[in-house]
Amino acid sequence: MHPAEVSRHPERTPPTPAAYRAAAARIAPYVRRTPVLRATADGRPVAFKLEQLQVTGVFKIRGALNALLENHPADPPRMGGLTSRMGGSRPPSPLAVPPSPPGVVTASGGNHGLGVATAARWLGVPATVFVPATVPEVKARRIAAAGAEVVKTGSVYAEAELAAREFAARDRLYYVHAYDDPAVVAGQGTVGLEILEDIPDCDAVAVPVGGGGLLAGVAGAIAPVQVVGVEPEGCPTLH
């Protein structure tokens, strides 16, 4: 199989509105409800969703956690978790987790792997993260510090993904795709649900594009509000 083929799953269907709501309820005890900063640009009101204040510093924890909770259910944390707008700095504790979880596998350029590693640690699930040899060392260290086994292989993401899929298939482990998974998309879409709740008169949302999980999730969660994907000119993967 060519590396580019591993990300195609034609049998999978997009999340339903109910799936987005369920994801929001499922991950609420764990993640931060990040704040919105309002400002003005050229006389027009704009708002920024400060997702850089999310646990791990990036939105990826939402999709990773939703996917793991769907496949490895756990009782919500009795301590209240990270449900405030700014949240806490520690993972939810204590947790009731299933006995002897089989483990999860993913491939990542850094941020998704950190999200999976963090979510897996919270749920008591062993995690293995495949990364390309070119991954920034600081990201590899953070993934390992979160408790996951880091495997460096290949020179590009597609090669790491292919190796991760083969590893997961061989050991019959759950593979958490960085973006091409309805549970991951639904989790990322909770960003959009929060935007509409905090800014009910919002008429357009600009979303950065990498793999497309955040863009797909936000677009699906807040339809028919206009969503615009924004990507670097030097890396126009969606375009």
* Tokens coding 81: 């978790």
Cα–Cα dist 22/110, whole Å = 27
pLDDT tens-digit map of 105-119? 999 999 999 999 999
Residue 92 included in any domain: yes
Cα–Cα dist 6/1, whole Å = 7
Name the one residue in this structure whose structure tokens are 């699930």.
125
Residue 3 included in any domain: no
Higher pLDDT, 71 or 115: 115
Q: Which domain holds residue 151?
A: 13-230
Cα–Cα dist 100/126, whole Å = 9
Least confident range from 63-77, 99-113, 117-131: namely 63-77
pLDDT tens-digit map of 19-46? 999 999 999 999 999 999 999 999 999 9
Residue 4 included in any domain: no
Q: What residue spans of the chain are helical by DSSP H? A: 17-27, 60-71, 111-123, 137-145, 157-171, 182-198, 213-222
State the chain's mean pLDDT as an integer: 87
Give strand pairing partners of 204. Answer: 226
Work out the widest C-alpha separation in the chain, in whole angstroms.
Answer: 57
Say whether pLDDT at 235 is over 90. Answer: no
Say whether pLDDT at 71 is over 90. Answer: no
Amino acid 79: pLDDT: 31
Amino acid 26: pLDDT: 96
> Vertex 6, ends 27 and 74: CA angle to 5°?
20
Residue 235 included in any domain: no
Say whether pLDDT at 103 is over 80. Answer: yes
Residue 140 included in any domain: yes
Residue 105 included in any domain: yes
Residue 6 included in any domain: no
Residue 164 included in any domain: yes
Please count the structural domains in the chain: 1
Amino acid 135: pLDDT: 95
pLDDT tens-digit map of 160-215? 999 999 999 999 999 999 999 999 999 999 999 999 999 999 999 999 999 999 99
Q: What is the CATH number of the domain that holds 119?
A: 3.40.50.1100
Amino acid 72: pLDDT: 72
